Chain A
Amino acid sequence: MGLTQILSTALDGLNAASYGLSSTGQNITNVNTPGYARRTVELETRGQGLNGVNVAGLRRVTDTVLERRQYQAIGLSSAASERDSQLAGLEAMFDDASGSGLSDALSAFYGSFSALASNPSDPTARANVLSRADALSSRVRDSADGIALARAELLTKAQQTTAEVNRRAQQIAELNQQIVAARAQGQDTSNLEDQRAKVLLDLAPLVDTTVLTQGNGAIMVQASGATLVDDVSARTLAVDLSTSGDLRFTSQTVGGAPTDVTRYLTGGTLAGIKEARDVDLAQVATQLDNLAYGIQTTVNAQHAAGFGLDGVGGRNLFAVTATSQGAARAMAVSSDVAGNPSAIAAASSAATTPGGSDNAVLLSRLALQPAVGTRSAAQAYGDLVGDVGARKASAADDVTLRESVATQMTAMREAASGVSLDEEMIALSKYQRAYEASTKVITTIDQLLEELLARLGR
């Protein structure tokens, strides 16, 4: 091997070290870039014999299995977080410790009949019954309206999230297109793949995301059991309300018929929204309706059996709905008695007015009698509070568990693809020394050549 050939080999070394330094710099620069997968320099010996080093290329270090698991774990974690966050709002509506529940209003309402029984001819005691009935109705209505508003907001959020899913799907389809084109021209697609990974990381928290690699460098993305992105084309996910008022998700190709994919939705914010809106909030709203209906019907029946100061009986205290459905949102004092405290039926007969208290006592004692099934109003309300608490606690447990899994999956993916500055610092030092060594080789060969030329010149 001639000296000039050694120089050429040393130049290879310089190139390889430079390439390594560039790659290390790129890794360090992108240490915090979402979707970025670390690059390693692929070096190989050149040809046969002592021919130097060849930079075969850069490798984007990824593990598709870990990525797939991470997207799935992020989706499940996001679904749990969304549900937990919605249930926190629901819990706040029934938090008696902070004074926002119905407990005090319920006790004050039934208690007002006891005060009325103590002094049936007292106009203040009568007015107090009306005012407590109105306060309870208003409190129940506020809670029911709060739930209805939360459900309406969740529909809007589902629509916004779906639009976001579609936007991300479109981005992935476009990136697929660019990657396929670049690959066909033999170009490096690492940066495009980073961008696509970043979009996938943005998509995974929104909907359950499954990624399948296609041969041409494109990926197929499935969401909610339906194909969202296939090669370079994206389908559209849409949300509307079913006939029962629940969220309905459909997947649609351009010009194609929509397919109902609701039952396949298992992860992401959309799944959390669906679970919170159509299961938790809907069930608690039904419980509240049953409670309101139970209170109204039992109180009305007893109130109608009594007589007001004017000797008239048969009046309802509440304007009750025909069935329990919507009873909470419609709860109000009946027009039979509104604004007319004398109409409150404290006496059990017209002859015993104004001092008769028998009916007021019976109304007061309804507090302990069954209002919802076999449960009294206070017991049924306690059950509702317990149920809301149990839902929130279970959601919080789910968040802890699923976040932990997502964190673990992210750590595992990052262990394969993430940048370690420790490692990069070592690599920096390694390539710096290699560069210095190659320079030394060149210097040495240069000295030898100089000496050789000097001897030849004598």
Chain B
Amino acid sequence: MRIADTTRQANVLRTIQDLRTRQADAQARALTGRQVNKPSDDPAAAAELSRIRASSAQADIHLKAATLARGDLELAEGVLAQAGDLFQQAHDIAMQGANGSLDAATRATLASQVQGLKEQLVGLANTQGATGYLFGGSKTATQPFAANGAFSGDGHDHVVDVGGASPTSVGVSGADAFTAAGGRDVFADLDALVTALNANSQSGVQATLSNLETSRKQITNVRAAAGIKMDRLQTTEDILGQAKLALAQREESTAGADPYQAYSDLVTLGQSLEQAVGVAKKVLDLGELFRI
């Protein structure tokens, strides 16, 4: 076949352009460490990557929600632990007050201690976390417990989305911990102790012991429930962390380029290009013929 000069030039140009295109692709692979740098590189992988990215972003969001919720749960659990301690102290005071040898003045002093404990308890029950008042149910913006222990919150459970099959409960019910909704109105039990102590009634003080213990258990039960929720969230965080790792591995296996292969391709293509340019010079050089 006759080879026209325009064909010879076009062939040289096409070869070099082809090598340049492949070199640019290899450069992109080597620079980004990815095999898929645009959707057309591998459409199925690009679609998969888009979904992996969405899942990964979702996992991040859930992880953030779980961490935030766990922070408030830890705070609530700590507060309930302190509330339980207060009731232990109140119980101890009641035991002391139930002693027949105590006089009225001593019982009055004990009553004032219990009053102090109640004030502390109101303070604890009005603790605020990152999401507002911890024990007010849905009334997170207003103080749920008045100074006398009157409750203005509700029993609404706070739920968040941490990616489980259903919404995850992360609320700690102030109603269950401190009000009659949970069995005992804990503030009323402290009030009863204060009243009995101030009345210098040994039997009255003795009668409060059982209720105080029930109140302490009530708070402890809610604390235990908070602990279970914390553990659950911790497990969720672990699972989400593993899921993120798995997604990162999936992303790598879907789109990742072997760095050594990418570098090797780049070097090989660079050499090919040099050779092609050398060949092009020779192909286009008609000097020999002109010298005939």
Contact = CB atoms under 8 A, between A and B. Distances in A.
Q: In terms of DSSP, what is the predominant structure of the interface of chain A?
A: helix
Contacts of B101: none
A33 to B, nearest CB: 9
A67 to B, nearest CB: 14
A357 B4 contact: no
A425 B286 CA distance: 10
Interface string A62-98: 0000000000000000000000000100011011111
B64 A415 contact: no
A96 B53 contact: yes
Contacts of B140: 120-121, 354-355
Interface string A397-414: 000000000010011001
A357 B159 contact: yes
Nearest to B61: A111
Contacts of B5: 31-32, 418-421
A390 interface: yes
Interface string A410-435: 11001111111111010001000000
A367 B58 contact: yes
B266 interface: no
B239 interface: no
A389 B54 contact: no
Interface string B150-168: 0000101011110000010
Interface string B39-75: 1111110111111011101101110110011000000
Nearest to A429: B292
B235 interface: no
Given A111-B57, A389-B43, A410-B7, A378 B51 contact: yes
A419 B6 CA distance: 8
B137 interface: yes
A133 to B, nearest CB: 15
Contacts of B32: 97
A423 B2 contact: yes
Interface in B198-232: none
A382 B40 contact: no
A334 B167 CA distance: 27
B29 interface: no
Given A117-B159, A382-B50, A414 B40 contact: no
A393 interface: yes
27 contacts: A94-B39, A95-B38, A96-B49, A96-B53, A104-B53, A104-B57, A115-B65, A117-B160, A117-B167, A119-B131, A122-B131, A358-B167, A360-B161, A362-B167, A364-B61, A367-B54, A381-B50, A385-B46, A386-B44, A386-B50, A389-B41, A389-B47, A392-B39, A392-B40, A420-B2, A422-B289, A425-B290
7 nearest A-B residue pairs (beta carbon): A418-B4, A386-B47, A389-B39, A389-B43, A107-B57, A378-B54, A355-B140
